[in-house]
Structure 1
């Protein structure tokens, strides 16, 4: 029995994410939790003729939803509105994520936990601190889904140079907001970066870092990036399940993780930067993180981006950690 729980399943990300996951034969039970409308979404999805059963769970049945879960995906929270940064979301979404993490502790302490709720740079440390407080923290099993940055990079790069297939994977490191998003475009084929002027490279980098703002503006107050985030979230979740359940090897995604998930590979980086969390290419295995791949050699331009990202990341991480430790 592979039970996957979507926390926030009736929301703008949760509904399309649930639809995409309903199509997977790897999942035998899809449990949908939300404070409103989960039952309706579950009833709708349950009519789809794939193998998994679907159950809906409302505000008073979080524990029932999470009981014995294999994987918990958390898109719950409020979306960004025009003029709102990911950091503006913190006070609202931090409490939601904390409460869901406590639910995991009670009901499925060995589950893989995949965090979409923004700001990811802070909400992932919140989950980890809750788990540490209860003595169940396993850094190999907690992930911040930063896959949308990779998806956007691949798409935007292919628009600049049609010779590059949109499916070409771009390595993106750092975090999951603004200047903390660092696309390593120098690693792309066809002399991609060399073909760009400094102004073009700046514009493309900025578009990748702030792509979410395009969607928020285009939706004119009606929401943020929900469909593309659901696609990215499903891609990440299914890759992890392919490795953990299907036994597939060599599956790699960029994800925001606690660097203790692979201490030998990250020790020197942690010492140099003082960071406990970082988005980097991770290879999946039966325990979640199999290994964290080394940070590639970066260009001088990318090093400048990293130098700008590090202080912001430190502040984001500290904010998430303090939310738990100072309220204990």
Structure 2
């Protein structure tokens, strides 16, 4: 079975069957734009036995009431305020961090990091105090810095397992398939385009040399493809009259959650994620990750036929990624 087919099968709903175990999923920041969309999709996900929605925003109870109107066999529970955070997290198998401020046009990664540090800091510290670490998926931006930050905070609290912490980068893979398929006249679901390195307009690197179906794109065409992929978020924001992408990002979070829930159920799973990984000249790296019930098993490596052009793009991205990682790790230095 090809990697493309295997990846698609694992990430589709068809992997969830009647023998699946039911899990508790907690959405932190569930009243945010992305949080509401993620919660809605998870509400009817077969593997979710209990959905917990938490937010500090006062509209959260209304969101939970709305979700309760969606017919589902899963249990639904809502929590409001920082004082209830521990209750919301307790017993969770998967926690998604989707709150914080959405990045807007003209906002730098540094400004977005400053805005979302408190959210990730508070939640990560609480997770670190749990008796066991669940799977944790960070959707809040900027992922390049917030995931290392979350890791340092959890380590400082005592409960941490790096195999279970993910930056959710599925949206990069989705966009790459869409763009590649459109260029080659192929349905996106029939395309496989690995996206590696980081998750930003300077660190996202699609590997066209590894794409399927294959292509003979020139170096200038590859650079143009990379530029278009990195600019997708901005183009969506312009089309939405200044509003950031939310629906596609939420769906990416759902796809990642499905993969993790499949792994927890004992099935082979692949997710596109940003994880702790020292194999690529930096301590964090994004790519296609194989996961089991204990967390990350391995990340797919691509060493054959990577073009000189791609190597150059990757080196430039790694320089920036190292700075982003270092910025996130500094959290304990300024405590």
TM-score between the two structures when normalised by the length of structure 1 = 0.90
* Distance (Å, rounded) in 2 between the aligned partners of 1:85 and 1:152: 22
- CA–CA separation in structure 2 for the residues paired with 1:302 and 1:86: 24
Within the candidate set 270, 288, 293, 2:295 is matched to 288
2:56 alignment partner, one of 22, 25, 35: 35
User: Is residue 191–residue 213 contact of structure 2 (8 Å, CA) maintained in 1?
Assistant: no
1:248 aligns with 2:267: yes
| SS of structure 1 residue aligned to 2:56 | coil
| Structure 1 portions without partners, runs of 5+ | 260-265
Distance in 2 between residues matched to 1:101 and 1:165, nearest whole Å: 36
Once the two structures are superposed, what CA deviation does each residue of 1:110-158 show, in whole Å capped at 9, x if it has no partner?
A: 2111001110000000110011112222111000001110000011111
Alignment of 1:54-73 (within 5 A): 54-59=76-81, 60-73=83-96
Query: Which deviations, in whole Å up to 9, do the C-alpha atoms of 1:39-74 show, x marking residues without a partner?
Result: 111111122222211111111422221122111000
In structure 2, the residue corresponding to 1:239 is in which secondary structure? helix
Q: Is residue 257 from structure 1 mapped to residue 275 from structure 2 by the alignment?
A: yes
Question: What is the SS of the residue equivalent to 2:129?
Answer: helix
Q: Structure 2: where are the runs of 5+ without partners?
A: 1-21
Q: Secondary structure at the match of 1:326?
A: helix
Partner of 1:231: 251
Q: Deviations over 1:155-186 (max 9, x none)?
A: 11111111354452321100000121010111
Deviation at 1:310, TM superposition (A): 1.1
CA distance in 1, matches of 2:302, 2:289: 11
Query: TM-score, with normalisation over the residues of structure 2?
Result: 0.88
Q: Structure 1 residue 190: deviation in Å? A: 4.1
For residues 296 and 225 of structure 1, the distance between their equivalents in structure 2, rounded to whole angstroms, comes to 33
Contact kept, 8 Å, 1:70 with 1:111, in 2: the verdict is: yes
Tell whether the 8 Å contact from 1:177 to 1:210 is kept in structure 2 after alignment.
Answer: no
Aligned with residue 157 of structure 1, among 180, 184, 207: 180
- Secondary structure in 2 matching 1:50: coil
Counterpart for residue 96 of structure 1: 119
1:296 positional shift: 3.6
Cα 1:131/1:190, change in 2 over 3 Å:
closer
Residues 40 and 56 in structure 1, CA contact (< 8 A), matched pair in contact too: no
Q: How many equivalent residue pairs?
A: 311
Tell me the distance in 2 between the aligned counterparts of 1:189 and 1:257: 24
Structural RMSD (CA): 1.7
- Residue 216 of structure 1 deviates from its aligned partner by 1.9
